[in-house]
Amino acid sequence: MPLNPPVLASGFITPNLISTGNLGTGVPRLAMGIAIGVCQYLTAQSKVTSVDVGTAGVGATFFPLIVPPPLLLGSLTSAFASTGILGIAAPQFIAGLTTALTTGWTALAFLQITHPMVGVGTGVAKIVGPSAVTAMVTGFSAMGMAGAGPAKMATAIGLGLDSTFASFVQVAVPIVGTPSPVGSSGIGFGTVI
């Protein structure tokens, strides 16, 4: 199942926020706003590039997006602090959101990459795109969460995603395709689905 807001929100974000003590009738709406922003950022605004090595040919990759939780946790914590909303309840919220997103991405999001120069081998993939802040603000707005408070939270989450994916690389993504006895290297291009 590809990465999509309803499944990410109801299957991962909402239960993980509740498990860390974020209770209330607004949690499902908040979860959906976050999911809309995250999905828009990863699937519509970002691209995947890879540096490949192996044998000459044309190959493809279909691999889960596996982001280490400590990377996202640290990035979100720094972003919440920089926007001035790192209060007493923030650590639990950030912990729940980190678990939700990292497990949701591993289960739902896949890197789909085409490798025009390498038929069989491995690559190192990176997600590149614009700032996630706009996508997060859009996601919050789509769920009717507007104003200074929601904008600050959306900005903090967006900055956390920016920081996470600025330093994130997926190593050893397998390239499968046509084998050849000739070595080759190249660049792959793709998307998150």
Rounded to an integer, what distance in angstroms lies between the CA atom of residue 146 and that of residue 138? 10
Rounded to an integer, what distance in angstroms lies between the CA atom of residue 160 and that of residue 178? 39
Across 23-33, average pLDDT: 96
Q: Where residue 179 falls among pLDDT bands split at 50, 70, 90?
A: confident
Residue in the structure block whose two tokens are 């959101």: 97
> CB under 8 Å to 5, separation ≥6 — which residues?
32, 35, 36, 38, 39, 139
DSSP class per residue in 107-141: HH-EEEEEESSEEEEEEEEEEE-S-SHHHHHHHHH
Across 51-58, average pLDDT: 97
Least Cα distance to 42 among 156, 158, 151 occurs for 158
In the 8-state DSSP scheme, what is residue 40? I
Structural tokens at position 64:
């889960």
Count of alpha carbons within 13 angstroms of residue 100, beta-carbon side: 28
Across 63-74, average pLDDT: 98
Q: What is the pLDDT of residues 95-131, one digit of tens each?
A: 999 999 999 999 999 999 999 999 999 999 999 999 9
Rounded to an integer, what distance in angstroms lies between the CA atom of residue 117 and that of residue 96? 41
Q: How many domains does the chain have?
A: 1
What was the pLDDT predicted at 1?
A: 67
Across 123-143, average pLDDT: 98
Q: Where residue 138 falls among pLDDT bands split at 50, 70, 90?
A: very high
Structural tokens at position 1:
């199942």
Domain ranges, residue 74: 5-192
Say what the pTM is: 0.96
High-pLDDT (> 90) share of the chain, %: 97
Structural tokens at position 110:
């896949």
Across 17-43, average pLDDT: 96
Across 55-60, average pLDDT: 97
